[in-house]
Amino acid sequence: MSEEQPNKSKASISHSRLAAKLFLGAVGMFGFGFVLVPIYDVFCEITGLNGKTGGQYAYEAAKVKVDDSRLVTVQFLASNNAGMSWKFEPAVREIQVHPGELTEVSFYAHNTGFEAMVGQAVPSVSPFRAADYLHKTECFCFNQQTLAAGQDIDMPLLFFIDQDIPEDLTKLTLSYTLFDVTASYQQTASNAN
């Protein structure tokens, strides 16, 4: 390289600037990957994309009009995830309700094992678009459940169907899957101490 490029120093400066910008872009996209998580949650909540139900909903009797003209069938399912050994089932398998009507049902759980366990119920609604119209004012799924060996419990669920539910949605399924979260519960507990 006997002939120096006259603009070499200028070129190398612009390289590092451009490289820095591109690097920042890459870091930004790494962050964007994580931002996708809350975006997805919000998106799901709006569209009911994955059948996740919303959190606790306040029932204001004044605002809700009970629609006596029609009935919606709500089907309850209970299942265990791998590693969860409790007996877990709905007290009633199916119920018919008027939109707007506050209804209480319960789920039965029984720890048949030899050790205390912590369970977390995860709700899911099908068809997905029905998720927006199912409001829970009280649910055992809002908290983890701890059962001693042999202990059993009736867990309440208070819900109502939104009066704006489309006419063609006459039946919806509310499923709970019970997960064993004993390990992570113990971890959090020991971290807290």
Partner 1 sequence: MQPKFKFIPALLLACSVLIGKLAIAAEDFREGINMPIGITEISRSTYDLHMLITIICALIGVVVYGVLIWSLIKYRKSKGSKSADFHENTTIEIVWTVIPILILVSMAIPSTGVLRQVYDSSDSDLDIMITGYQWRWQYSYLDDEGEQVSFFSNLATTDEQIAGLDEKSENYLIEVDQPLVIPVDTKVRFLLTANDVIHSWWVPEFAVKKDAIPGFINESWVIAEETGTFRGQCTELCGQEHGFMPVVVEVVEKEEFEAWYSERQEQAAAVAELTNQEWTFDQLVAQGETVYRTYCSACHQLNGQGLPPAFPAMTNSAIVNGPIDGHVNIVLNGSPGTAMAAFRNQLNPVDIAAVITYERNALGNSVGDMISPIEILQAQAE
Partner 2 sequence: MSNVGTIESHDVHDDHHHGPAKGLTRWLYTTNHKDIGSLYLWFSLCMFLLGGTFALVIRLELFQPGLQFVEPNFFNQMTTMHGLVMVFGAVMPAFVGLGNWMIPLMIGAPDMALPRMNNWSFWILPFAFAMLASTLFMDAGAPNFGWTFYAPLSTTYAPTTVTFFIFAMHIMGASSIMGSINIIATIQNLRAPGMTYMRMPLFVWTWLITAYLLIAVMPVLAGVVTMMLFDIHFGTSFFNAAGGGDPVLFQHVFWFFGHPEVYIMILPAFGVVSEIIPTFSRKRLFGYDSMVYATSSIAFLSFIVWAHHMFTTGMPIAGELFFMYSTMLIAVPTGVKVFNWISTMFKGSISFETPMLFSVAFVVLFTLGGFTGLMLAIAPADFQYHDTYFVVAHFHYVLVPGAIFSIMAAVYYWLPKWTGNMYDETLGKLHFWLSFVGINVLFFPQHFLGLAGMPRRIPDYALQFADYNMISSIGAFLFGFSQLLFVFIVIKCVRGGKKATQEVWEGSHGLEWMVPSPAPYHTFTTPPDLPEHSHS
Instruction: Kindly list the residues in this chain that would bind partner 1 in the complex (CB under 8 A).
Output: 50-52, 75, 77, 79-85, 93-94, 112-114, 122, 124-127, 149-150, 168-171, 173, 175, 177, 179-180, 182-183
* CA-wise closest residue to 174 among 119, 135, 101, 123: 123
* CA-wise closest residue to 133 among 171, 92, 107, 94: 171
Residue 79 in contact with partner 2, rule: CB under 8 A: no
Residue 148 in contact with partner 2, rule: CB under 8 A: no
76, 130, 135, 175 from 94: Cα distances, Å: 6, 16, 17, 12
Q: Please tell me the count of residues contacting partner 2 according to CB under 8 A.
A: 43
Question: Could you tell me how many residues make up the chain?
Answer: 193
Q: Which of residues 100-139 bind partner 2 (CB under 8 A)?
A: 120, 122, 128-129
Q: How far is the CB of 95 from partner 1 (least distance, A)?
A: 9
Amino acid identity for residue 2 in this structure: S
Note whether 144 and 185 are within 8 A (CB): yes
| Dist. CA 103–CA 77, nearest whole Å | 17
Residue 30 in contact with partner 2, rule: CB under 8 A: yes
Q: How far is the CB of 190 from partner 2 (least distance, A)?
A: 12
Comparison of 12 and 96: residue with beta carbon closer to partner 2: 12
- In the list partner 1, partner 2, none, the entry touching 56 (Cβ below 5 to 8 angstroms by class) is none
Tokens of 187: 């971890």
